[in-house]
Chain A
Amino acid sequence: MTVALGMFIGFVAVTLIITWWAARRSQGAAAFFTASRRITAWQNGVAVAGDYMSAASFLGIAGLIAFFGYDGFMFSVGWLVAYLTVLLVVAEPLRNAGKFTMADVLAYRLNPRPVRAMAALSTITVSTFYMIAQMVGAGALVTLLLGSSHISYHAAVIGVGVLMIIYVVFGGMLATTWVQIIKAILLIAGTILLSLMVLAHFGWSFAAFFDAVTRVTYHEKGAVVTRNFLQPGLRYVAPYGPLDLISLGMALVFGTAGLPHILVRFYTVPDARTARISVVWAMALIGAFYIMTTFLGFGAATIVGRDHIAAHGGNNMSAPLLAQALGGDIFFAFIAAIAFATILAVVAGLTISASTSFAHDFYTNVIHHGVERAPGEEVRVARITAFFVGAVAIAIAILLGKDANVAFLVALAFAVAASANLPVIVLSLFWRRFNTAGAVAGLAVGLLASIVLILVSPSIMKIDPPGTAVAARHLIQRPPLFPLENPGLVSIPLGFLAAIIGTLCRREPLAEKGFDELLVRANTGLGAEKALPE
């Protein structure tokens, strides 16, 4: 496994050089938070893709397809389609009207302090949950590579945490962006290579490939079964299965446009038009990647087999194990290094969005009423926050351990983004009557509803069969109160409803007056933040 280590050290060395280069250029708040708004359309598009295609995609979805066939592939679809909401509704108005965070867009019309405080809370919640899932994934991956000792898991988690702190604290958004760009290119290249090798394995015949997919053999409950993996229904079965998929779809389609680490990327480009083109770049890459999960997932199911994957690290290791089966240990190392780089880039993006929100929304605008008391204070606070965020994420990931069932954390992040953030962004951009009471109610209810519903869902509440590893056991050993794994179906309407009811309870003439300003800014770019000169 020295090859994997070598490749990974190479990646880390390159990213540290970038960080050093970015640190020398990065002066002032706009440079730190937005890379001086000088990122070009293709660069931002690739960086958005790099920020978005997380371990959940590369390892998780490939694993779901390898284990559940078509039902896993349905996940892939939602991840791309979600970008239409980003493109049509949020990217351009956000770039036109905002400065550093999502809450900037709300602060035009609404009373800034309560709204920013709630928005910062929801941003940090989304980012932290998302991050812990990534770090546990990184730890599990390294454990698989270096053998299952606790030392390697801890070392991996601490390594990821320390690196992400270095990128963000020293390199700011500029370094984060380039780490994401390099990672996206590596990930796409690795996925193309792996897909081609799968096709080569089937003699370059799509017919032979799909034929094999219709006859996948594995052990289930002690018996050998053969199933058609192109057929739906292996995972999501009635009565609740289809509802769960719809619920997940809602969280994706409405949540992606509310993910703080994606939204802040649109502040790094010079104007709204560039933001729009960058979404299209991202959609091309993300779409191509998720279509190729067909080859990754089905390839792992047919070439490696469910039984082998289950015995060697579980379904999350499908893609690396496929690489091992097709290209030997060196290719396995290459793919594992890419997966690790993927996690690192996503975690850096999450850290900078959480730190920006804390420093800009909470520290400067809530505590200090929008006044920066000393030059550079906001950036300094963001750097300190990045330290804390990193330390907390390391601590929680170590406490949870490598076998922890963390998939629900990503579902939770999307659900909070969709139920708390999106209703408030949309209503503030499109509804003149919308006001502070509505925004606070929407954010609070959306956040709370998602968390409570996840707590009583089968992700947390479930009776495990005897013999389940302690760390992998569900927290509450009882039948679930809420039947779906994804709360979106209920929590998203609740978020909208709370925002609407909250609004109707109060009248706020100032918020209605401010709507004209937001409308003109969002749609024309008048008064928008400019890119800094070279």
Chain B
Amino acid sequence: MPREDEKRAGNAGKRSPGTGGLDRPESIDWSGLAHSEKFQRLLRAKRRFIIPAMIIFVLYYFALPLLVGYARPMMEKRVLGAINVAYLFALSQFLMAWIVAALYVRAAAKFDRMAQEVLQERK
């Protein structure tokens, strides 16, 4: 039975099933699929959502320790009875996470359809 690394040196890898490694059928034209119009459109659509979403959530999240650390007077202002800006801002992080997740799930339904189209084209 060929070794995983030897096979890699062959044809980007093939493997008979049940060898404890990865199942990698040779019959699929991965490169062709990767460069197809439909797949490239899927990748662009995903990036258009995921990259801005990552940037927004990372900025919003790290604003919390930064503001708490370096803008104390503003964060200590009371807004709702005893509750201050700092606590509300921390709570808003939970809301932010849930909203980003919900938006992603909505967008991902479209990605699923686009991926299906890529696979159908192959047949």
Contacts and interface: CB of A to CB of B under 8 A. Distances in A.
Nearest to B50: A88
Given A29-B20, A107-B22, A77 B115 contact: no
Contact of A365 (B4, B75, B90, B102): B4
Interface size class, chain A: 35 or more
Q: How large is the interface on B (under 10, 10 to 19, 20 to 34, 35 or more residues)?
A: 35 or more
Contacts of B70: 242
Given A112-B8, A211-B82, A510-B12, A276 B34 contact: no
Nearest to A77: B93
Given A83-B97, A516-B31, A526 B119 contact: yes
A361 B102 CA distance: 35
A301 B94 CA distance: 23
B34 A78 contact: no
A104 B22 contact: yes
B contact patch SS: helix
Contacts of A210: 81-83
B82 A213 contact: yes
B10 to A, nearest CB: 10
Given A370-B4, A371-B20, A524-B119, A246 B65 contact: yes
A59 B91 CA distance: 21
Interface string B69-84: 1101001100001111
Prevailing SS type, chain A contact patch: helix
B54 A88 contact: yes
Given A242-B66, A523-B46, A527-B23, A73 B87 contact: yes
Contacts of B81: 207, 210-211
Given A88-B54, A112-B4, A526-B122, 14 more contacts: A80-B93, A81-B93, A113-B5, A230-B84, A230-B87, A245-B65, A283-B97, A370-B4, A370-B5, A371-B19, A371-B21, A372-B20, A514-B12, A517-B28
Interface of A: 29, 70, 73-74, 76-78, 80-81, 83-85, 87-89, 92, 99, 104, 107-108, 111-113, 207, 210-211, 213-214, 230-233, 236, 238, 241-243, 245-246, 249, 253, 273, 276-277, 279-280, 283-284, 287, 290-291, 360, 364-365, 368-372, 377-378, 510, 513-517, 519-521, 523-527, 529
Kindly list the 10 A-B residue pairs having the minimum CB-CB distance in the complex, ordered from nearest. Answer: A242-B69, A370-B4, A370-B21, A516-B34, A372-B20, A517-B30, A245-B65, A369-B3, A210-B82, A364-B20
